[in-house]
Chains A and B, each alone.
Chain A
């Protein structure tokens, strides 16, 4: 029997044709980033970064320190001014509004209503001198909540969900452990149910067992809330657990993107191969 006998010819009479799948997406992407570049003076932060995040999808960005992954995230968050590029969100305006061209006040409002960030360093996302409940109340107040009782109720509900003991609700965050501070950051970030969550090395620097607990919480919250997310990490374990697609960044550029399992098992770019090889042996 010849090798070709293993196949039947594709029926030439077939009436179906190759089509896009799915035929059309009913919802626009939660986030679309096009040609995003950032220079710090003459120094390249990131260049021509492009990706999309579907509503409810978690996308990973992996790379080592200095690869530009946090720079890209901070340009999306509005912490840094992008040098050039275009960023749109499905929930903002008609979905075609370039948020990079918004006025500073509109950008601040966007940061409350549509984008939340969880930083590696909790002091960037929280006021450490303010209580856990107060930090959450800050975000809710900024988002237009006025009823003190409801704000308090929502803060308690969030702290309970993120497993922060309620009897610590009125203690300054400064008195909290690293893991608990990250839990408060998560509670605050999700307080007013934003459509997009940016996570920048959210478990880096925590003890292994504490990091595992925070990672589990993030995974559960992403599933429960259906928030779109960008997860920036140098740690493949974090990317593998939280995302189904990811980008690899190196020296400011996206060198590869793909399904997360593909990037781990069959990395294409020389740098991705080195990165996976170093992580997995």
Chain B
């Protein structure tokens, strides 16, 4: 299948390669493998990823789907380098057009690249302790080069968008409810649109109204997104393409309707 036709929704940034335009993927994963060696359990080996190939194109939102244990979060974490991959390549195209294998990048350079271009929002708030909500969100922008004053303004805007009452802005996130924490987490992840955004069940604890407004915001973003959602409506709303995983491998892809018609389970039962 020709990449240009299969990823029509993602071909916003085209580069001419002779007669046929081909988009340059932001992320190009090949042969990615991840095994967990559990030294405390007699060195038992648990397979996480068993040879994943995947391209994600500029401004495309790819939802990873599949049952629990399929390898969706492992794939996000291997790209983010929170997990150490055992084999394969993860080529990432930076904002200035350089192509880097993230798996071969030094730790300090990876930390710099994360700060500048790669966002990761999980279902758990990982804010530093003893910092107020506004501060936590503003600092996410400051780390990406925004001036402190502007970061505060932007933090206020984005906190309002996720419906965090301004009376809570000076509160430590640890004192908030699960849903509020998750909204603060999303606000911090969204305050500056990273070039590549990795989302790992970011709305799992939200009530329907807040969930809907956060999902609406996510659809307006300018980032390239690789995500895991555990609910079908979110996948239907956001995905330009659904990639179905099982047992650490990709087993299907297409629109949500296409893969559902082929009888694939998209979310854990």
Q: Does B associate with A?
A: yes
B222-238: CB near A (< 8 Å → 1, else 0) gives: 00000000000000000
B167 beta carbon closer than 8 Å to chain A: no
B211 interface contact, C-beta 8 A: no
Partner of A245, one of B101, B107, B251: B107
A266–B77 touching, CB < 8 Å:
yes
B-chain residues with CB within 8 Å of residue A54 when the two chains form the complex: 108
Q: Contacts of A266 on B, CB cut-off 8 Å?
A: 36, 77, 82-84
Q: Are B30 and A10 in contact (CB under 8 A)?
A: yes
Chain B contact residues: helix, strand, loop or mixed: mixed
Smallest CB separation, B175 vs chain A (Å): 15
Q: How many residues of B contact A (CB 8 A)?
A: 53
Q: Taking the complex as formed, is B267 at the interface, i.e. its CB lies under 8 A from any CB of chain A?
A: no
* 1/0 contact string of B24-46 vs chain A (CB within 8 Å): 11001110000011111000000
Question: Which of B3, B97, B130 is the one whose CB lies under 8 Å from A8?
Answer: B3
Q: Which one of A8, A13, A216, A245 has the greatest number of beta carbons of chain B within 10 Å?
A: A8
Among residues of B, the one whose C-beta sits closest to the C-beta of A219 is B128
- Please encode chain B, from 57 to 75, with 1 for each CB lying within 8 Å of some chain A CB and 0 for all others: 0000000000000000000
Flag whether B163 is at the interface (Cβ < 8 A): no
B8 within 8 A of A: no
CB neighbours of B1 from chain A (8 A): 5, 8
CB contact list, B77-131 vs A, under 8 A: 77, 81-84, 91, 93-94, 97-101, 105, 107-113, 128-130
Contact B109–A265 (Cβ < 8 Å)? no
B49: CB under 8 A from chain A?
no
Contacts of A9 in B (CB 8 A): 3
Contact A5–B82 (Cβ < 8 Å) = no
Q: Would A257 and B130 be within 8 Å (CB), given that A262-B82, A265-B82, A268-B84 are in contact?
A: no
Of the listed stretches A14-22, A78-86, A123-131, A180-188, name the one at the interface; the rest are far from the partner chain: A14-22
- For residue A230, give the distance in angstroms from its CB to the closest CB of chain B: 14
Structural contact, B82 and A273, CB atoms closer than 8 A? no
Instruction: Tell me, yes or no, whether B254 is within 8 Å of chain A by CB.
Output: yes
**Residues in B whose Cβ lies below 8 Å from that of A57:** 108
Chain A residue with minimal CB distance to B128? A241
Interface check B243, CB cutoff 8 A? yes
B55 within 8 Å of A (CB atoms)? yes
A261 to B98, CA, bound (A): 25
B201 at the interface (CB under 8 A from A): no
Closest Cβ neighbor of B98 among chain A residues: A19
B3: chain A residues at CB < 8 Å are 8-9, 11
B6 contacts A245, CB within 8 Å?
no
A265 touches B93 (CB 8 A): no
B residues near A, CB below 8 A?
1-3, 6-7, 17-18, 22, 24-25, 28-30, 36-40, 53-55, 77, 81-84, 91, 93-94, 97-101, 105, 107-113, 128-130, 243, 249-254, 262
List 12 contacting pairs A-B, 8 Å CB cutoff, sorted by A: A1-B262, A3-B251, A7-B53, A13-B22, A18-B101, A21-B109, A245-B108, A262-B81, A269-B39, A270-B39, A274-B40, A277-B40
Chain A residues packing against B (C-beta within 8 Å): 1, 3-11, 13-14, 16-23, 52, 54, 57, 212, 216, 219, 241, 244-245, 257-259, 261-262, 265-266, 268-270, 273-274, 277
